[in-house]
Amino acid sequence: MNMHTVVNQEQWVAQRKQLLVREKELMRQQDQLASARRALPWVRVDKQYVFDTPQGKRSLSDLFEGRSQLVVQHFMFAPGQERGCAHCSYMADHTDGALAHLAQRDVSLVVVSRAPLASLERMRKEMGWQFKWVSSGESDFNYDFHVSFAPEDMAGGEVYYNYAGQGFPHEDAPGVSVFYKDDAGVVYHTYSTFGRGVEVMMHTYRFLDLTPLGRHEEGLPYTMAWVRHHDRYAQPAASCCGSAHA
């Protein structure tokens, strides 16, 4: 870190107040954006999806667990892999503490991957996670919500991800989707976010953004190249999502 400007307390407070004006404006813009997000139209989900869960086969409607709102983390973990993506794991590390608070606001959260349930349960226990993790491997759920890509699409060099056709290096991608279930039991898709939008789950970044060195990702092969599964930080980095969150 290069030597930083050093001032007295009075000078620091003056500059801090200038930044505070910008921070408050950003907060107001974020509130406006959240309001616009809630105002988006919904899409009725008529297709029946089946998920493999520790309690047996369950539908998308079942995953709400009696609540009206459902948040889904699309976790990159394909059949045949030893472990799921380290970057999706970084997202998931922030989840357990939020579950009780989400429930108080009528929200359930579930993590979904294509890998078999046994693989998901093994990794969940290894990582010490408590959230519900279910397998969509027997349905089109991942493909319909554009976080998994068919081999023929991959072979063509371009897949549909983050609302655009683009090249993508993996058969699965990260994302967050939100659903609503009305009193009649009808499920609606209300929102999805991909790419850097999934940083909404990465609370560690919010802390890093407060620090003098920030995320300190300059010069890395790609952003998040430093991220490991939390039990493997002593080991060399393995190839994972690459620039998936760029």
Record the tokens describing residue 118, joined without a space. 């046994």
Those residues whose C-beta lies under 8 Å from the C-beta of residue 164, and which sit 6 or more positions away, are: none
Nearest Cα neighbor of 59 from 168, 139, 161, 162 is 139
Residues of the chain with pLDDT under 50: 242-246
Buried b (16+ CB within 10 A) or exposed e, 226-244: ebbbeeeeeeeeeebbbeb
Those residues whose C-beta lies under 8 Å from the C-beta of residue 109, and which sit 6 or more positions away, are: 70, 71, 72, 73, 95, 98, 99, 102, 131, 132
pLDDT for 246 equals 44
pTM: 0.91
Q: Is 168 left (phi over 0), alpha (psi -120 to 50) or beta?
A: beta
Interval 91-132: pLDDT, tens: 999 999 999 999 999 999 999 999 999 999 999 999 999 999
Helix (H, G, I), strand (E, B) or coil at 49: coil
pLDDT for 3 equals 79
pLDDT for 238 equals 57
192 contacts 175 by C-beta, under 8 angstroms? yes
Measured over the CA atoms of residue 143, residue 144, residue 146 and residue 152, the dihedral's sign is: positive
Those residues whose C-beta lies under 8 Å from the C-beta of residue 245, and which sit 6 or more positions away, are: 87, 174, 195, 196, 198, 199, 223, 224
pLDDT for 148 equals 97
Query: How do the domains of the chain map onto residue ranges?
Result: 43-227
Side chain identity at 65, as an amino acid letter? E
pLDDT for 242 equals 46
Q: Give the residue carrying structure tokens 């349930």.
A: 117
| Residue 189 DSSP code | E
As a CATH number, domain 43-227 is 3.40.30.10
Identify the bridge partners of residue 70 per DSSP, sorted by sequence position: 108, 179
